[in-house]
């Protein structure tokens, strides 16, 4: 696979302007990235800008805290898919996971997966807030709910993806689901190492610096 197709070209800042989102889309087409990852209000603009290309529109749900009600997350997912989202990156309820309420976590992921239909669902577990044991439990919930990816981080908490976390996630899920490393991947060396360790997708706002055009 081309290196560029590992990248979800990301802009999730609260002050992201229309011009900035349009630039994100233009860069995604120019560098042939896998997707742009944006907040849901920007889905229609991205669909318009990316029309005719194979760049996907990815959006975030329950972002960045994950503490919304399941019903709110499901409704947000349904709205995003209706507006044209190709992929959905949801944040789990981290508090419920830390309470060991694994049925809640699994059921919520499963409901959102159902709302996605045939669209790809990536599940953000915010590894920087979890113990290794909790990371493994989160992966087990994701596998049980039949989501497509486990994703390390929002990029908005205390830390992003680490080599150690990607190694642990790969050991836990094997080939049963994919892995997205997100947050803090800003050098070509880190990018290559994450892929080597098992990441199938990289979420980054530094995509244009990580690869050369055409890679």
Q: Which are the catalytic amino acids?
A: 89, 151, 180
Q: How many angstroms from the chain centroid is the CA of residue 204?
A: 10
Structure tokens, 111: 């409901």
Q: Tell me the backbone φ, ψ of residue 178, rounded to 5 degrees.
A: -90, 170
Q: Tell me the backbone φ, ψ of residue 91, rounded to 5 degrees.
A: -100, 130
Q: Tell me the backbone φ, ψ of residue 124, rounded to 5 degrees.
A: -85, 125
**DSSP secondary structure, 101-125, as one string:** -HHHHHHHHHHHHHHHTTSEEEEE-
CA distances from 207 to 134, 140, 200 (A): 30, 30, 15
The Cα 127–Cα 91 span in angstroms is 11
Element (H, E) at 209: helix 207-210
């Amino acid at each position: 696979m081309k290196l560029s197709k590992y990248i979800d070209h990301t802009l999730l800042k609260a002050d992201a302007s229309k011009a900035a989102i349009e630039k994100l889309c233009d860069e995604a087409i120019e560098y042939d990235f896998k997707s742009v990852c944006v907040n849901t209000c920007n889905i229609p603009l991205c669909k318009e800008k990316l029309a005719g290309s194979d760049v996907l529109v990815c959006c975030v749900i329950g972002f960045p805290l994950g503490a919304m009600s399941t019903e709110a997350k499901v409704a947000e997912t349904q709205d995003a898919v209706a507006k044209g989202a190709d992929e959905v990156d949801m944040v789990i309820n981290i508090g419920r996971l830390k309470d060991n309420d694994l049925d809640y976590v699994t059921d919520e992921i499963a409901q959102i997966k159902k709302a996605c239909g045939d669209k790809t669902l990536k599940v953000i577990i915010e590894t920087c807030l979890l113990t290794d044991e909790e990371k493994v439990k989160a992966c087990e919930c994701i596998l049980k709910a039949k989501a497509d990816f486990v994703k390390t981080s929002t990029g908005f908490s205390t830390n992003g993806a680490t080599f150690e976390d990607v190694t642990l996630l790969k050991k836990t899920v094997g080939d049963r689901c994919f892995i997205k490393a997100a947050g803090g991947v800003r050098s070509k060396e880190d990018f290559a190492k994450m892929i080597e360790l098992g990441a199938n997708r990289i979420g980054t706002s530094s995509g244009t610096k990580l690869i050369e055009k055409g890679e």
